[in-house]
Structure 1
Amino acid sequence: MTIQVGDSVPEATFMTMTDKGPAPVPSAELFGGKTVVLFGLPGAFTPTCSAKHVPGFVGQADALKAKGVDTIACISVNDAFVMGAWGKDQKVEDKVLMLADGNADFTRKAGLDLDLAGFGMGTRSKRYAVVVKDGKVAALAIEPNPSALDVSSAEAVLKLL
């Protein structure tokens, strides 16, 4: 079942790349006492994700933070090494936290998993954006088509805040 507005976000441990290598980021640490915009996407280095989704959040980071967002995070069912390399490629710097959900633990618990086995990609994430306030879902926008970028763009999220 997909998470809904008012639900607590599922507990999970994400991984992020640091100068010292992969490091865990517990969901309680990420979401507790903060306003977080988390956007999920099918895969690093994929066309819509690289050309539009991540660049949109990088470009709108200051506007999102001006509306009270503490953290902007990108999550994908990839490993921390891939997410780290993609973050460098996308020049996210400290604007977007790149999170790996390598085993799709969070993605499955949130009901946001997508079966792309037919395309040789296995289990991936739906394309979405969620606003989380102190661990609770305040707003959720899921793209009906994983190739589209309408309701989960940075511009759309700005309107939700």
Structure 2
Amino acid sequence: MISVGDKIPDVPLATVGADGANPVRSGELFGTGRTVLFGVPAAFSPTCSDAHLPGFVAKAEEISAKGVDRIVCVSVNDPFVMGAWAKDQGVGDSVIMLADGAALFATAMGLSIDASDFGLGVRSSRYAAIIDDGTLTWIDVEAAPPDHEVSTADAVLSHL
């Protein structure tokens, strides 16, 4: 698993915007400035939709006020699902929705999990991280996917 002080891996991903899916490399997205990143196992899943993403949307201004340039949500879903989820959740410009369709980022970070027992295949662990100029400066990973304690917006705020 990635550790504090490590550079964020550089893999192809996609962001979602008004014009649809846009290819981006993680090294480019996270390479400059301060980023709060949180990973979720699945868009539209109960914990992700009821608590995790909404918490970051609600606290986006407070997080940004702490010197954060961008808040990014990543999930092993395609960009169209991430776009639909952003619309459903009223994300607007508060959070960049990042699609890791082939789990390349989750795997490169050492944060992939096998959720085949739930019919989901390879997914991302639930976590939150702070990245400064492409280097991981803080991370906390939930013990199990449904857990939602150490990776909340409030947890991140306590580390900024």
For the aligned pair, the TM-score class normalised by the smaller chain equals over 0.9
Deviation by residue 1:95-139 (Cα, 9 ceiling, x = unmatched): 000000000001001000010011111000000001000000000
What TM-score results when the alignment is normalised by the length of structure 1? 0.97
Residue in 2 aligned with 1:89? 88
Q: CA RMSD in A?
A: 0.8
**Corresponding residue SS for 1:99:** strand
Q: Matched residues in 2 for 1:18 and 1:152: separation?
A: 25
What are the superposed Cα offsets for residues 3-62 of structure 1, whole Å, 9 maximum, x if unpaired? 000000111121122333211121122112210011001000000000000000000000
- Corresponding position of 1:151: 150
Q: How does 1:108-127 map to 2 (within 5 A)?
A: 108-127=107-126
Unaligned runs of 5+ in 1: none
Q: Aligned letter for 2:117?
A: G
Partners of 2:134 and 2:2 in 1: CA distance: 12
Q: Does residue 37 in structure 1 map to residue 22 in structure 2?
A: no
Give the equivalent residue in structure 1 for 2:73.
Answer: 74
CA distance in 2, matches of 1:79, 1:64: 26
Aligned equivalents of 1:134 and 1:43: distance in 2?
27
Count the aligned residue pairs: 160
Is it true that 1:128 corresponds to 2:127 in the alignment? yes
CA distance in 2, matches of 1:90, 1:104: 23
Residues 16 and 96, structure 2, Cα contact 8 Å, conserved in 1: no
